[in-house]
Amino acid sequence: MTLSPQALDDVHGDLMEISLGPHHPSTHGVFRMNVTLDGEVVVKLKPVFGYLHRNHEKIAEQNTYLASIPYTDRLDYLCSLTNNWAYVHAVEKLAGIPVPERAEYLRIVLGELARIINHVCLVGFLLNDLGTSFTPLLYSLRERERMLDLVEELTGSRMMCNFFRFGGLRTDVSQDWLARLRAYLGDGFAQYLDEQDALLSGNEILLARTQNVGTLPAALAIQAGITGPMLRASGVAYDIRKVDKYSLYARLAFQIPIGEHGDTYDRYMMRMLEMRESVKIILQAMDALRDLPANAPHIEPKARNQGLRPKAGEAYARIEGPKGELGFHLVSDGTGKPWRYRIRPPSLINLTALEDMCLGQTLADTVVILGSVDIVLGEVDR
């Protein structure tokens, strides 16, 4: 519910300051908001960062290029595969390393799988924030667990995958694994999406709690650097997979879901729709992989390259991560360690407009709005 300034004047009372977080389940980690309330309505909100800060960028400047790949797993720990991808993408740009076609398609399969895993979590946790007390969350986590089983089998780890290498991947991916992923997406996961849509997407309570809550206008979203599903929920058709056409996305047919109102409900629906698009992308990439020889010898040319020394220069490269634009800005001085290693974290920058979205909303809605932004503190604080 949004109160007009006029209505606010009528019910004006004593202001109360509360500190929401850092130890609060709805902040999804150690995030804190200093909120000033007028009754139940937010009149001021200042986020406080840094509880999970470990100066990841400084650590990476003391590592070889290869040694930083496992560190990127720990940024947004829900989707380490896309973190790996963004980092190796930047190093490949910096050092001019080509990527073979088979590896590109496999990266697309894994990157979209990471997007699905991320969105499944988001949808589950957002509904939990709305007070559905775990049932939708457990359904979501059940599906996530099935996908993580596949990821674990492939990479050796459920979450800290460390699977991408400069110019390829750590290992090839077997046809058998791909076939099982295909079977799961077509059966169990498709059922989950339909079930979720049938039970929740049109649910009256969900609509009442999320429609016209935390509206983000398109102009503000662009100005504040909001990216990813949050930007598209505000009606801006901007997806880096389409704009930059990195990897082989230009060869694949998929839609970019666009929201209309930029409210919390649109942000929820963006994730539901994007999961269906990601399934389409994975299936197309798998079809293309069928025609490419498995275990092609060229798949891991620089995979073990501890001694990578890019020519002095700099490169900024970005991908469409599940949460928005994930970019890496690397500067090489010609040695084996990056002279400057900078991460452009979508989770942090998407919080720029948090106060604007929460003003005039109730405290209970603030929790839901934050949930719909989709942050992971490992990336916010780095």
* CB neighbourhood size of 152 (10 A): 14
Q: Is the Cβ of residue 53 or residue 290 nearer to another protein in the bound state?
A: 53
Whichever of 17 and 187 has its CB closer to another protein, that residue is: 17
Residues pairing with 15 in the sheet: 38
Asked if 174 touches another protein (CB under 8 A), the answer is no
Half-sphere exposure of 18 (CA within 13 A, CB side): 14
Task: Report if residue 298 touches another protein, rule: CB under 8 A.
Answer: no
Specify the residue, 91 or 185, whose C-beta has the smaller distance to another protein: 91
Q: Which is nearer to another protein, 139 or 249 (CB)?
A: 249
- Which of 26, 59, 244, 359 is close enough to bind another protein by CB under 8 A? 244
Which of the residues 339 through 358 are near another protein (CB under 8 A)? 340, 342, 344, 348-349, 351-353
Cβ distance to another protein smaller for residue 86 or 289: 86
* Residue 223 makes contact with another protein by CB under 8 A: yes
Task: Specify the residue, 60 or 289, whose C-beta has the smaller distance to another protein.
Answer: 60
Among 11, 15, 17, 55, binds another protein (CB under 8 A): 55
Per-position b or e across 160-183, b if 16+ CB within 10 A of its CB: ebbbbbbbbbbbbbeeeebeebbe
* One residue of 49, 77, 177, 184 binding another protein per CB under 8 A: 49
Taking a C-beta distance cutoff of 8 angstroms, is the pair 167, 301 a contact? yes
- Where in 89-148 is the site for another protein (CB under 8 A)? 93-96
Cis peptide before 22 (omega within 30 of 0): yes
Out of 12, 58, 142, 290, the only residue in the binding site for another protein (CB under 8 A) is 58
Please state the closest distance from residue 95 (CB atom) to another protein, in A: 6
CA distance 305 to 199: 50
**Residues of span 303-322 touching another protein by CB under 8 A:** 310-318
Determine if 222 is a binding residue for another protein (CB under 8 A): yes
User: Least distance (Å) from another protein to the CB of residue 337?
Assistant: 12
Helix count and strand count (H, E) for the chain? 17, 8
Give the count of residues interacting with another protein (CB under 8 A). Answer: 46
> 3-state DSSP call for residue 124?
helix
3-class DSSP state of 86: helix
Strands 338-344 and 324-332: antiparallel
Is the distance from CB of 274 to CB of 257 less than 8 angstroms? yes
Using CA atoms, how far residue 44 sits from 16, 21, 40, 217, in Å, is: 10, 16, 12, 19
Where along the sequence are the contacts to another protein (CB under 8 A)?
A: 49-50, 53, 55, 57-58, 93-96, 220, 222-227, 236, 238, 243-245, 310-318, 325, 327, 329, 331-332, 340, 342, 344, 348-349, 351-353, 381-382
